[in-house]
Chain A
Amino acid sequence: MIAVVDYGSGNIHSISSAFYMLGADVVVTNKPEDLQAATHIVLPGVGAFGVCMENLKASGVIESLTEEVFEKGKPFYGICVGMQVLAREGHEFGIHEGLGWVDGIVKKFDVDESEYKIPHVGWNDILVTRETPLIKDLGKDKTFYFTHSYHFITDDEDLIVANCEYGETFPTAIQKDNIFATQFHPEKSQENGLNLLENFLNWKP
Protein backbone atom coordinates (compact mmCIF):
# COMPACT_ATOMS: atom_id res chain seq x y z
CA MET A 1 0.00 0.00 0.00
CA ILE A 2 1.20 3.47 -0.93
CA ALA A 3 0.62 6.31 1.53
CA VAL A 4 0.34 9.71 -0.14
CA VAL A 5 0.83 12.26 2.58
CA ASP A 6 -2.07 14.68 2.80
CA TYR A 7 -1.17 17.90 4.56
CA GLY A 8 -3.32 20.37 2.69
CA SER A 9 -0.68 21.32 0.14
CA GLY A 10 -1.64 20.98 -3.43
CA ASN A 11 -3.28 18.58 -5.77
CA ILE A 12 -2.76 15.01 -4.66
CA HIS A 13 -5.46 13.54 -6.85
CA SER A 14 -3.34 13.10 -9.95
CA ILE A 15 -0.47 11.42 -8.14
CA SER A 16 -2.74 9.03 -6.27
CA SER A 17 -4.70 8.11 -9.38
CA ALA A 18 -1.45 7.50 -11.26
CA PHE A 19 -0.39 5.00 -8.59
CA TYR A 20 -3.87 3.48 -8.58
CA MET A 21 -3.77 3.02 -12.34
CA LEU A 22 -0.46 1.21 -11.97
CA GLY A 23 -2.16 -1.35 -9.76
CA ALA A 24 -1.15 -0.06 -6.33
CA ASP A 25 -3.56 0.47 -3.46
CA VAL A 26 -3.33 4.06 -2.36
CA VAL A 27 -4.28 5.78 0.85
CA VAL A 28 -4.25 9.56 1.09
CA THR A 29 -3.54 10.28 4.71
CA ASN A 30 -1.81 12.12 7.53
CA LYS A 31 -2.46 9.44 10.16
CA PRO A 32 0.55 7.78 11.81
CA GLU A 33 -1.10 4.34 11.64
CA ASP A 34 -1.50 4.60 7.85
CA LEU A 35 2.14 5.59 7.45
CA GLN A 36 3.07 2.62 9.62
CA ALA A 37 1.00 0.24 7.51
CA ALA A 38 2.26 1.60 4.17
CA THR A 39 5.05 -0.04 2.21
CA HIS A 40 5.93 3.18 0.36
CA ILE A 41 5.45 6.82 1.28
CA VAL A 42 4.97 9.71 -1.14
CA LEU A 43 5.21 13.37 -0.23
CA PRO A 44 3.66 15.57 -2.90
CA GLY A 45 3.73 19.33 -2.70
CA VAL A 46 2.64 22.38 -4.61
CA GLY A 47 3.11 25.99 -3.62
CA ALA A 48 5.58 27.89 -1.49
CA PHE A 49 8.22 26.20 0.63
CA GLY A 50 7.29 28.04 3.83
CA VAL A 51 3.58 27.35 3.51
CA CYS A 52 4.22 23.69 2.82
CA MET A 53 6.45 23.39 5.88
CA GLU A 54 3.85 25.14 8.05
CA ASN A 55 1.13 22.82 6.77
CA LEU A 56 3.33 19.81 7.39
CA LYS A 57 3.94 20.94 10.95
CA ALA A 58 0.26 21.76 11.51
CA SER A 59 -0.83 18.35 10.26
CA GLY A 60 1.30 16.71 12.92
CA VAL A 61 2.65 14.23 10.45
CA ILE A 62 6.36 15.08 10.65
CA GLU A 63 7.14 12.88 13.62
CA SER A 64 5.71 9.66 12.20
CA LEU A 65 6.95 10.53 8.71
CA THR A 66 10.47 10.92 10.04
CA GLU A 67 10.19 7.71 11.98
CA GLU A 68 8.93 5.62 9.04
CA VAL A 69 11.25 7.09 6.43
CA PHE A 70 14.32 8.21 8.20
CA GLU A 71 14.50 5.55 10.89
CA LYS A 72 12.67 2.52 9.45
CA GLY A 73 13.97 3.14 5.96
CA LYS A 74 10.73 2.83 3.97
CA PRO A 75 10.94 3.78 0.29
CA PHE A 76 10.11 7.44 0.10
CA TYR A 77 9.42 9.73 -2.84
CA GLY A 78 9.20 13.53 -2.56
CA ILE A 79 7.73 15.35 -5.54
CA CYS A 80 8.29 19.01 -6.47
CA VAL A 81 7.97 20.97 -3.21
CA GLY A 82 7.93 17.53 -1.60
CA MET A 83 11.55 17.34 -2.77
CA GLN A 84 12.38 20.87 -1.73
CA VAL A 85 11.26 20.49 1.89
CA LEU A 86 13.81 17.71 2.37
CA ALA A 87 16.48 20.43 2.33
CA ARG A 88 17.89 22.21 5.34
CA GLU A 89 16.27 25.48 4.40
CA GLY A 90 14.25 27.19 1.72
CA HIS A 91 14.71 30.77 0.58
CA GLU A 92 11.23 31.57 -0.65
CA PHE A 93 9.48 34.55 0.98
CA GLY A 94 12.08 34.57 3.74
CA ILE A 95 14.24 31.79 5.04
CA HIS A 96 12.39 28.73 6.31
CA GLU A 97 13.65 25.65 8.01
CA GLY A 98 13.14 22.41 6.06
CA LEU A 99 13.05 18.80 7.17
CA GLY A 100 16.82 18.63 6.74
CA TRP A 101 16.87 14.98 5.66
CA VAL A 102 19.40 15.80 2.98
CA ASP A 103 22.11 18.40 2.73
CA GLY A 104 21.08 21.33 0.58
CA ILE A 105 19.05 24.48 0.32
CA VAL A 106 16.32 25.72 -2.00
CA LYS A 107 16.71 28.99 -3.85
CA LYS A 108 15.19 30.93 -6.69
CA PHE A 109 16.33 30.45 -10.30
CA ASP A 110 19.26 32.78 -10.93
CA VAL A 111 18.86 33.26 -14.68
CA ASP A 112 18.33 36.01 -17.20
CA GLU A 113 14.56 36.26 -17.08
CA SER A 114 14.34 37.94 -20.46
CA GLU A 115 15.57 34.67 -21.92
CA TYR A 116 14.38 32.14 -19.36
CA LYS A 117 10.87 32.82 -18.15
CA ILE A 118 10.22 32.04 -14.50
CA PRO A 119 8.43 29.93 -13.42
CA HIS A 120 10.05 27.12 -15.39
CA VAL A 121 6.90 25.49 -16.76
CA GLY A 122 6.66 22.67 -19.29
CA TRP A 123 8.66 19.80 -20.67
CA ASN A 124 12.40 19.61 -20.28
CA ASP A 125 15.10 16.99 -20.71
CA ILE A 126 16.83 15.47 -17.75
CA LEU A 127 20.43 14.31 -17.72
CA VAL A 128 20.96 11.22 -15.63
CA THR A 129 24.27 11.51 -13.77
CA ARG A 130 24.17 8.35 -11.70
CA GLU A 131 22.58 4.96 -12.27
CA THR A 132 19.50 4.33 -10.18
CA PRO A 133 16.79 1.68 -10.34
CA LEU A 134 14.25 4.50 -10.31
CA ILE A 135 15.16 6.23 -13.54
CA LYS A 136 15.90 3.67 -16.22
CA ASP A 137 14.70 2.53 -19.65
CA LEU A 138 13.89 6.07 -20.64
CA GLY A 139 14.34 5.44 -24.35
CA LYS A 140 15.12 8.23 -26.74
CA ASP A 141 12.88 10.72 -25.08
CA LYS A 142 14.17 11.97 -21.72
CA THR A 143 11.63 14.68 -21.02
CA PHE A 144 9.60 15.28 -17.89
CA TYR A 145 7.11 17.93 -16.84
CA PHE A 146 8.20 20.81 -14.63
CA THR A 147 6.53 23.74 -12.94
CA HIS A 148 8.58 25.70 -10.37
CA SER A 149 10.43 28.93 -9.66
CA TYR A 150 12.76 27.60 -6.98
CA HIS A 151 15.09 24.67 -7.04
CA PHE A 152 17.26 22.56 -4.83
CA ILE A 153 21.04 23.00 -4.64
CA THR A 154 23.53 20.91 -2.77
CA ASP A 155 27.24 20.53 -2.16
CA ASP A 156 26.77 16.79 -1.81
CA GLU A 157 27.33 15.64 -5.41
CA ASP A 158 26.66 12.01 -4.45
CA LEU A 159 23.09 12.93 -3.72
CA ILE A 160 22.32 13.87 -7.32
CA VAL A 161 20.99 11.27 -9.77
CA ALA A 162 19.82 13.63 -12.52
CA ASN A 163 20.25 17.25 -13.50
CA CYS A 164 18.21 19.58 -15.62
CA GLU A 165 19.25 22.69 -17.50
CA TYR A 166 17.20 25.83 -17.62
CA GLY A 167 19.53 28.79 -17.81
CA GLU A 168 21.50 27.04 -15.12
CA THR A 169 22.08 23.44 -14.21
CA PHE A 170 20.14 22.24 -11.19
CA PRO A 171 19.61 18.87 -9.54
CA THR A 172 16.24 17.53 -10.62
CA ALA A 173 16.41 14.11 -9.01
CA ILE A 174 18.19 13.11 -5.83
CA GLN A 175 18.53 9.87 -3.97
CA LYS A 176 20.03 8.97 -0.64
CA ASP A 177 19.46 5.42 0.57
CA ASN A 178 15.68 4.98 0.68
CA ILE A 179 14.94 8.64 0.03
CA PHE A 180 14.20 9.63 -3.55
CA ALA A 181 12.88 12.94 -4.83
CA THR A 182 12.30 14.79 -8.08
CA GLN A 183 11.61 18.38 -8.93
CA PHE A 184 9.57 17.33 -11.96
CA HIS A 185 6.09 15.85 -11.77
CA PRO A 186 6.09 12.16 -12.76
CA GLU A 187 2.28 12.08 -12.63
CA LYS A 188 2.22 14.67 -15.41
CA SER A 189 5.08 13.21 -17.43
CA GLN A 190 3.27 10.62 -19.54
CA GLU A 191 5.07 7.36 -20.19
CA ASN A 192 8.42 8.32 -18.65
CA GLY A 193 6.61 9.42 -15.53
CA LEU A 194 4.55 6.26 -15.26
CA ASN A 195 7.69 4.15 -15.75
CA LEU A 196 9.34 6.02 -12.95
CA LEU A 197 6.36 5.52 -10.63
CA GLU A 198 6.35 1.84 -11.47
CA ASN A 199 10.07 1.64 -10.72
CA PHE A 200 9.34 3.27 -7.40
CA LEU A 201 6.66 0.65 -6.65
CA ASN A 202 9.19 -2.11 -7.40
CA TRP A 203 12.02 -0.41 -5.53
CA LYS A 204 13.66 -2.29 -2.67
CA PRO A 205 16.30 0.05 -1.32
Chain B
Amino acid sequence: MGKINLRRCSRCLIPETHETIIFNAEGVCNICLQQVVKNELIDWDKRKLELDALIEEYRGKYSHDMIVPFSGGKDSTFTLHYLVKEYKIKPLVVQFDHGFMRPQLRENNERTFKKLGVDVISFRPNWHVVRKVMLESLLRKGDFCWHCHTGIFSYPMQLAVKFNIPLLLWGEPSSEYTSYYSYDEKEEVDEKRFNRFVNLGITADDMYGMIDGVEERDLDPFRYPALRDLKKVGVRSVCLGSYIPWDVRSQVNLIKDELGWEGAEVEGVAPTFPYEKIECFMQGVRDYLKFVKRGYGRTAHNTSIDIRNGRMTREEGLKLTEEYDGKRPASLDLFLDYTGITEEEFMETAQKHAVEPWVPELVQIERGKKLPDYDQWDKTFELIEK
Protein backbone atom coordinates (compact mmCIF):
# COMPACT_ATOMS: atom_id res chain seq x y z
CA MET B 1 0.00 0.00 0.00
CA GLY B 2 1.54 3.31 -1.01
CA LYS B 3 2.98 4.70 -4.18
CA ILE B 4 6.46 5.50 -3.08
CA ASN B 5 9.30 3.96 -1.18
CA LEU B 6 9.91 5.88 1.97
CA ARG B 7 13.42 6.71 2.99
CA ARG B 8 14.23 4.79 6.14
CA CYS B 9 17.01 5.24 8.67
CA SER B 10 20.14 3.43 7.52
CA ARG B 11 20.52 1.80 10.92
CA CYS B 12 16.94 1.08 12.03
CA LEU B 13 13.70 0.97 10.03
CA ILE B 14 11.98 4.19 11.03
CA PRO B 15 11.00 6.14 7.90
CA GLU B 16 11.08 9.83 7.13
CA THR B 17 7.40 10.25 8.02
CA HIS B 18 8.06 9.58 11.73
CA GLU B 19 7.49 12.58 13.98
CA THR B 20 10.66 14.52 14.93
CA ILE B 21 12.92 12.42 12.69
CA ILE B 22 16.10 13.86 11.20
CA PHE B 23 18.81 11.91 9.39
CA ASN B 24 22.51 12.71 9.65
CA ALA B 25 24.94 12.65 6.72
CA GLU B 26 25.24 8.86 7.01
CA GLY B 27 21.47 8.51 6.95
CA VAL B 28 21.21 7.54 10.63
CA CYS B 29 18.15 8.89 12.42
CA ASN B 30 18.25 11.04 15.54
CA ILE B 31 16.44 8.37 17.58
CA CYS B 32 19.26 5.90 16.90
CA LEU B 33 21.78 8.61 17.70
CA GLN B 34 19.99 9.17 21.02
CA GLN B 35 20.96 5.63 21.91
CA VAL B 36 24.61 6.65 21.69
CA VAL B 37 23.87 9.32 24.29
CA LYS B 38 21.93 6.80 26.35
CA ASN B 39 24.52 4.03 26.17
CA GLU B 40 27.77 5.94 26.19
CA LEU B 41 27.44 9.48 27.42
CA ILE B 42 25.11 9.27 30.39
CA ASP B 43 26.53 8.44 33.78
CA TRP B 44 23.81 6.02 34.87
CA ASP B 45 25.44 5.40 38.25
CA LYS B 46 25.14 9.08 39.00
CA ARG B 47 21.56 9.13 37.74
CA LYS B 48 20.69 6.24 40.05
CA LEU B 49 22.02 8.20 43.03
CA GLU B 50 19.83 11.10 41.97
CA LEU B 51 16.84 8.77 41.94
CA ASP B 52 17.76 7.54 45.43
CA ALA B 53 17.82 11.13 46.67
CA LEU B 54 14.57 12.00 44.91
CA ILE B 55 12.69 9.10 46.46
CA GLU B 56 14.07 9.75 49.94
CA GLU B 57 13.01 13.38 49.68
CA TYR B 58 9.35 12.33 49.49
CA ARG B 59 9.32 9.09 51.47
CA GLY B 60 6.90 8.78 54.36
CA LYS B 61 5.63 12.35 54.25
CA TYR B 62 2.30 11.92 52.49
CA SER B 63 -0.50 9.36 52.29
CA HIS B 64 1.63 7.64 49.62
CA ASP B 65 5.29 8.09 48.70
CA MET B 66 4.42 8.68 45.07
CA ILE B 67 1.85 8.19 42.35
CA VAL B 68 2.71 5.58 39.74
CA PRO B 69 0.55 6.07 36.64
CA PHE B 70 -0.22 2.62 35.39
CA SER B 71 -1.65 1.09 32.23
CA GLY B 72 -0.58 -2.49 32.86
CA GLY B 73 1.58 -2.58 29.77
CA LYS B 74 5.18 -3.72 29.97
CA ASP B 75 6.64 -0.32 30.84
CA SER B 76 4.36 0.70 33.69
CA THR B 77 4.33 -2.84 35.09
CA PHE B 78 8.13 -2.85 35.14
CA THR B 79 8.16 0.64 36.68
CA LEU B 80 5.80 -0.33 39.48
CA HIS B 81 7.65 -3.58 40.17
CA TYR B 82 11.02 -1.84 40.19
CA LEU B 83 9.95 0.92 42.54
CA VAL B 84 8.21 -1.38 45.00
CA LYS B 85 10.96 -3.95 45.01
CA GLU B 86 14.05 -1.77 44.80
CA TYR B 87 12.84 1.05 47.06
CA LYS B 88 10.07 -0.55 49.15
CA ILE B 89 7.90 2.49 48.54
CA LYS B 90 4.19 2.79 49.19
CA PRO B 91 2.76 3.96 45.87
CA LEU B 92 -0.69 5.02 44.83
CA VAL B 93 -1.23 3.28 41.52
CA VAL B 94 -3.41 5.38 39.23
CA GLN B 95 -4.97 3.80 36.22
CA PHE B 96 -6.80 5.74 33.56
CA ASP B 97 -9.10 3.20 31.94
CA HIS B 98 -9.55 4.16 28.30
CA GLY B 99 -12.38 1.66 27.88
CA PHE B 100 -10.62 -0.90 25.68
CA MET B 101 -8.66 -3.00 28.14
CA ARG B 102 -8.04 -6.54 26.94
CA PRO B 103 -8.79 -9.61 29.11
CA GLN B 104 -5.11 -10.54 29.31
CA LEU B 105 -4.28 -7.10 30.58
CA ARG B 106 -6.93 -7.26 33.31
CA GLU B 107 -5.57 -10.61 34.47
CA ASN B 108 -2.02 -9.27 34.47
CA ASN B 109 -3.07 -6.24 36.46
CA GLU B 110 -4.91 -8.31 39.01
CA ARG B 111 -1.82 -10.46 39.59
CA THR B 112 0.53 -7.51 39.70
CA PHE B 113 -1.56 -5.58 42.23
CA LYS B 114 -1.99 -8.58 44.48
CA LYS B 115 1.60 -9.76 44.32
CA LEU B 116 3.04 -6.31 44.97
CA GLY B 117 0.47 -5.20 47.55
CA VAL B 118 -0.42 -1.71 46.35
CA ASP B 119 -3.34 0.73 46.58
CA VAL B 120 -5.01 1.30 43.22
CA ILE B 121 -7.39 3.87 41.81
CA SER B 122 -8.87 3.19 38.42
CA PHE B 123 -10.93 5.78 36.61
CA ARG B 124 -13.01 5.32 33.49
CA PRO B 125 -14.53 8.37 31.80
CA ASN B 126 -18.10 8.45 30.55
CA TRP B 127 -18.38 6.43 27.33
CA HIS B 128 -20.86 8.86 25.74
CA VAL B 129 -18.26 11.59 26.04
CA VAL B 130 -15.40 9.32 24.98
CA ARG B 131 -17.26 8.27 21.85
CA LYS B 132 -17.81 11.88 20.84
CA VAL B 133 -14.24 13.00 21.41
CA MET B 134 -12.84 9.93 19.65
CA LEU B 135 -14.71 10.80 16.50
CA GLU B 136 -13.90 14.50 16.77
CA SER B 137 -10.18 13.95 17.17
CA LEU B 138 -10.18 11.41 14.36
CA LEU B 139 -11.81 13.86 11.99
CA ARG B 140 -9.66 16.80 13.00
CA LYS B 141 -6.29 15.18 13.59
CA GLY B 142 -6.50 11.73 12.05
CA ASP B 143 -5.97 10.29 15.55
CA PHE B 144 -8.90 8.99 17.59
CA CYS B 145 -6.91 8.53 20.80
CA TRP B 146 -7.26 12.04 22.23
CA HIS B 147 -9.23 10.91 25.27
CA CYS B 148 -6.57 8.37 26.12
CA HIS B 149 -3.52 10.59 25.50
CA THR B 150 -4.95 13.43 27.56
CA GLY B 151 -6.57 11.32 30.26
CA ILE B 152 -3.48 9.22 30.90
CA PHE B 153 -1.35 12.29 31.44
CA SER B 154 -3.90 14.59 33.12
CA TYR B 155 -5.75 12.34 35.49
CA PRO B 156 -2.77 11.23 37.62
CA MET B 157 -1.72 14.90 37.86
CA GLN B 158 -5.21 15.77 39.06
CA LEU B 159 -4.97 13.13 41.76
CA ALA B 160 -1.54 14.42 42.79
CA VAL B 161 -3.22 17.74 43.51
CA LYS B 162 -6.35 16.24 45.04
CA PHE B 163 -4.52 13.90 47.41
CA ASN B 164 -1.46 16.07 47.96
CA ILE B 165 1.03 13.49 46.69
CA PRO B 166 3.75 15.56 45.01
CA LEU B 167 5.91 12.91 43.37
CA LEU B 168 4.89 11.07 40.19
CA LEU B 169 7.08 8.49 38.51
CA TRP B 170 6.28 7.51 34.94
CA GLY B 171 7.97 4.78 32.95
CA GLU B 172 9.96 5.15 29.78
CA PRO B 173 11.14 8.58 28.64
CA SER B 174 9.89 9.73 25.24
CA SER B 175 13.48 9.93 23.99
CA GLU B 176 13.32 6.15 23.70
CA TYR B 177 10.94 6.59 20.74
CA THR B 178 11.03 10.19 19.54
CA SER B 179 13.27 13.24 19.67
CA TYR B 180 11.06 15.79 21.35
CA TYR B 181 13.45 15.43 24.24
CA SER B 182 17.00 14.15 24.17
CA TYR B 183 18.44 11.74 26.70
CA ASP B 184 20.74 14.38 28.14
CA GLU B 185 17.77 16.53 29.18
CA LYS B 186 15.75 15.45 32.19
CA GLU B 187 12.29 15.08 30.81
CA GLU B 188 9.71 16.53 33.17
CA VAL B 189 6.30 15.10 32.45
CA ASP B 190 4.65 18.50 32.65
CA GLU B 191 2.22 20.72 30.81
CA LYS B 192 4.84 21.80 28.31
CA ARG B 193 5.38 18.19 27.29
CA PHE B 194 1.63 17.63 27.33
CA ASN B 195 1.03 20.49 24.92
CA ARG B 196 4.07 19.62 22.87
CA PHE B 197 3.11 16.14 21.78
CA VAL B 198 0.50 14.52 23.98
CA ASN B 199 -2.74 16.36 23.41
CA LEU B 200 -2.69 16.65 19.58
CA GLY B 201 -2.84 20.42 20.03
CA ILE B 202 -6.34 20.19 21.48
CA THR B 203 -6.93 21.16 25.11
CA ALA B 204 -10.04 20.15 27.06
CA ASP B 205 -11.37 23.68 26.56
CA ASP B 206 -10.77 23.44 22.83
CA MET B 207 -12.57 20.12 22.71
CA TYR B 208 -15.51 21.56 24.63
CA GLY B 209 -15.86 24.14 21.90
CA MET B 210 -15.70 21.49 19.18
CA ILE B 211 -18.37 19.05 20.26
CA ASP B 212 -22.04 19.34 21.16
CA GLY B 213 -24.11 17.80 23.88
CA VAL B 214 -21.56 17.85 26.68
CA GLU B 215 -21.03 20.04 29.70
CA GLU B 216 -17.71 21.71 30.29
CA ARG B 217 -17.13 19.56 33.38
CA ASP B 218 -17.57 16.40 31.29
CA LEU B 219 -14.15 17.18 29.88
CA ASP B 220 -12.48 17.55 33.28
CA PRO B 221 -10.84 14.10 33.16
CA PHE B 222 -8.86 15.28 30.13
CA ARG B 223 -7.88 18.67 31.54
CA TYR B 224 -4.33 19.37 32.68
CA PRO B 225 -4.38 20.89 36.18
CA ALA B 226 -3.54 24.57 36.54
CA LEU B 227 0.13 25.30 37.06
CA ARG B 228 -0.82 27.16 40.25
CA ASP B 229 -2.40 24.05 41.74
CA LEU B 230 0.54 21.87 40.75
CA LYS B 231 3.02 24.34 42.19
CA LYS B 232 1.10 24.61 45.44
CA VAL B 233 1.50 20.89 45.95
CA GLY B 234 5.07 21.11 44.62
CA VAL B 235 4.50 18.41 42.03
CA ARG B 236 7.55 16.66 40.56
CA SER B 237 6.68 14.45 37.63
CA VAL B 238 9.54 12.51 36.04
CA CYS B 239 10.29 9.29 34.15
CA LEU B 240 12.01 6.31 35.75
CA GLY B 241 13.76 5.87 32.39
CA SER B 242 15.59 9.16 32.95
CA TYR B 243 17.33 7.54 35.92
CA ILE B 244 17.91 3.93 34.88
CA PRO B 245 18.74 2.71 31.35
CA TRP B 246 15.58 1.40 29.67
CA ASP B 247 15.81 -2.03 28.11
CA VAL B 248 12.46 -3.38 26.99
CA ARG B 249 13.45 -7.01 26.35
CA SER B 250 15.15 -7.63 29.67
CA GLN B 251 12.43 -5.77 31.54
CA VAL B 252 9.74 -7.91 29.93
CA ASN B 253 11.62 -11.03 30.97
CA LEU B 254 11.84 -9.74 34.50
CA ILE B 255 8.12 -9.00 34.89
CA LYS B 256 7.29 -12.36 33.34
CA ASP B 257 9.46 -14.14 35.88
CA GLU B 258 8.52 -12.10 38.90
CA LEU B 259 4.90 -11.21 38.28
CA GLY B 260 3.72 -13.84 35.85
CA TRP B 261 3.03 -11.04 33.40
CA GLU B 262 1.88 -12.38 30.06
CA GLY B 263 1.98 -10.78 26.67
CA ALA B 264 -0.56 -11.25 23.93
CA GLU B 265 -0.86 -11.19 20.20
CA VAL B 266 -1.50 -7.72 18.78
CA GLU B 267 -2.91 -6.94 15.36
CA GLY B 268 -0.21 -5.94 12.90
CA VAL B 269 2.58 -7.04 15.21
CA ALA B 270 4.95 -9.90 14.49
CA PRO B 271 4.76 -12.73 17.05
CA THR B 272 8.41 -11.97 17.76
CA PHE B 273 7.13 -9.13 19.95
CA PRO B 274 4.58 -10.70 22.25
CA TYR B 275 4.93 -7.92 24.82
CA GLU B 276 4.00 -4.84 22.91
CA LYS B 277 0.86 -2.75 23.32
CA ILE B 278 -1.40 -5.39 24.79
CA GLU B 279 -3.30 -2.80 26.81
CA CYS B 280 -5.86 -1.75 24.23
CA PHE B 281 -8.01 -3.69 21.81
CA MET B 282 -8.19 -0.66 19.55
CA GLN B 283 -4.39 -0.76 19.12
CA GLY B 284 -4.75 -2.48 15.75
CA VAL B 285 -6.91 0.37 14.47
CA ARG B 286 -4.46 2.92 15.82
CA ASP B 287 -1.50 1.27 14.13
CA TYR B 288 -3.42 0.82 10.89
CA LEU B 289 -4.30 4.51 10.93
CA LYS B 290 -0.64 5.27 11.41
CA PHE B 291 0.22 3.07 8.47
CA VAL B 292 -2.25 4.83 6.19
CA LYS B 293 -0.97 8.22 7.33
CA ARG B 294 2.75 7.54 7.59
CA GLY B 295 3.51 4.37 5.70
CA TYR B 296 4.77 2.33 8.61
CA GLY B 297 3.24 0.40 11.46
CA ARG B 298 4.13 -1.12 14.78
CA THR B 299 6.43 -3.81 13.48
CA ALA B 300 8.79 -1.18 12.04
CA HIS B 301 8.81 0.41 15.46
CA ASN B 302 9.39 -2.86 17.36
CA THR B 303 12.07 -4.17 15.05
CA SER B 304 13.84 -0.80 15.18
CA ILE B 305 14.15 -1.06 18.95
CA ASP B 306 15.64 -4.55 18.65
CA ILE B 307 17.98 -3.38 15.90
CA ARG B 308 19.19 -0.47 18.05
CA ASN B 309 19.80 -2.83 20.94
CA GLY B 310 21.74 -5.23 18.73
CA ARG B 311 19.20 -8.04 18.98
CA MET B 312 18.18 -8.16 15.32
CA THR B 313 19.73 -7.31 11.98
CA ARG B 314 18.20 -4.66 9.78
CA GLU B 315 17.46 -7.27 7.10
CA GLU B 316 15.53 -9.48 9.52
CA GLY B 317 13.62 -6.43 10.71
CA LEU B 318 12.76 -5.30 7.22
CA LYS B 319 11.43 -8.72 6.34
CA LEU B 320 9.15 -8.78 9.38
CA THR B 321 8.04 -5.20 8.76
CA GLU B 322 7.04 -5.94 5.21
CA GLU B 323 5.16 -8.99 6.34
CA TYR B 324 3.21 -7.54 9.26
CA ASP B 325 2.81 -3.78 8.80
CA GLY B 326 -0.28 -2.36 7.15
CA LYS B 327 -2.93 -5.07 7.31
CA ARG B 328 -6.53 -4.02 7.74
CA PRO B 329 -7.30 -5.06 11.33
CA ALA B 330 -10.45 -6.98 12.24
CA SER B 331 -10.97 -4.56 15.13
CA LEU B 332 -11.77 -1.82 12.64
CA ASP B 333 -15.30 -3.31 12.36
CA LEU B 334 -15.75 -2.66 16.03
CA PHE B 335 -14.39 0.84 15.80
CA LEU B 336 -16.77 1.71 12.97
CA ASP B 337 -19.72 0.39 14.95
CA TYR B 338 -18.68 2.34 18.03
CA THR B 339 -18.30 5.64 16.21
CA GLY B 340 -21.03 5.15 13.62
CA ILE B 341 -18.92 6.00 10.57
CA THR B 342 -18.35 3.94 7.46
CA GLU B 343 -15.05 2.41 6.42
CA GLU B 344 -14.94 4.81 3.45
CA GLU B 345 -15.27 7.78 5.81
CA PHE B 346 -12.58 6.33 8.04
CA MET B 347 -10.16 5.84 5.16
CA GLU B 348 -10.93 9.21 3.66
CA THR B 349 -10.11 10.89 6.95
CA ALA B 350 -6.93 8.89 7.36
CA GLN B 351 -5.80 9.77 3.83
CA LYS B 352 -6.38 13.46 4.44
CA HIS B 353 -3.84 13.29 7.23
CA ALA B 354 -1.15 11.49 5.24
CA VAL B 355 2.33 12.77 6.01
CA GLU B 356 4.40 13.78 3.00
CA PRO B 357 6.01 12.29 1.01
CA TRP B 358 3.89 9.24 1.79
CA VAL B 359 0.92 8.76 -0.53
CA PRO B 360 -1.38 5.96 0.57
CA GLU B 361 -2.86 3.79 -2.13
CA LEU B 362 -5.97 2.14 -0.84
CA VAL B 363 -6.36 -0.91 -2.98
CA GLN B 364 -5.93 -4.57 -2.24
CA ILE B 365 -5.34 -4.14 1.44
CA GLU B 366 -4.84 -7.48 3.06
CA ARG B 367 -7.18 -8.23 5.94
CA GLY B 368 -5.73 -9.28 9.24
CA LYS B 369 -7.28 -12.08 11.26
CA LYS B 370 -9.30 -11.69 14.44
CA LEU B 371 -7.32 -11.99 17.64
CA PRO B 372 -8.19 -14.93 19.92
CA ASP B 373 -9.88 -12.68 22.50
CA TYR B 374 -11.88 -10.71 19.89
CA ASP B 375 -15.18 -12.26 20.90
CA GLN B 376 -14.69 -11.15 24.50
CA TRP B 377 -14.38 -7.48 23.61
CA ASP B 378 -17.33 -5.27 24.47
CA LYS B 379 -19.82 -4.71 21.70
CA THR B 380 -22.21 -2.15 23.16
CA PHE B 381 -23.12 -0.05 20.18
CA GLU B 382 -26.61 1.22 21.08
CA LEU B 383 -26.60 3.98 23.66
CA ILE B 384 -29.46 5.45 25.67
CA GLU B 385 -29.47 9.13 24.85
CA LYS B 386 -29.90 11.31 27.94
Q: Which residues of A contact B (CB under 8 A)?
A: 20-23, 139, 191, 198
Contacts and interface: CB of A to CB of B under 8 A. Distances in A.
Contacts, number: 17
B379 interface: no
B192 A20 contact: no
- List of 8 A-B pairs having minimum Cβ-Cβ separation, nearest first: A23-B231, A23-B232, A21-B227, A22-B231, A23-B228, A21-B228, A20-B228, A22-B227
A193 B158 CA distance: 25
A22 B228 contact: yes
Given A20-B228, A21-B227, A21-B231, 5 more contacts: A22-B231, A23-B228, A23-B229, A23-B230, A23-B231
A23 B226 CA distance: 10
17 contacts: A20-B228, A21-B226, A21-B227, A21-B228, A21-B231, A22-B227, A22-B228, A22-B231, A23-B227, A23-B228, A23-B229, A23-B230, A23-B231, A23-B232, A139-B185, A191-B192, A198-B231
Interface residues of B, number: 9
A22 B234 CA distance: 10
Nearest to B232: A23
Q: Chain B binding site: helix, strand, loop or mixed by DSSP?
A: helix
Contacts of B185: 139
Interface of B: 185, 192, 226-232
A198 B231 CA distance: 9
Contacts of B228: 20-23
B166 to A, nearest CB: 12
Contacts of B231: 21-23, 198
A191 B227 CA distance: 13
Taking each of A22, A23, A139, which has the highest tally of chain B beta carbons within 10 Å of its own beta carbon?
Answer: A23
A194 to B, nearest CB: 9
A20 B232 CA distance: 10
A11 B231 CA distance: 24
A23 B227 CA distance: 7
Contacts of B230: 23
Contacts of A21: 226-228, 231
B133 to A, nearest CB: 27
Nearest to A198: B231
Nearest to B229: A23
Contacts of A22: 227-228, 231
Contacts of B226: 21
B186 to A, nearest CB: 10
Contacts of A191: 192
A40 B228 CA distance: 18
Nearest to B231: A23
Contacts of B229: 23
Nearest to A23: B231
B161 to A, nearest CB: 11
Contacts of A20: 228
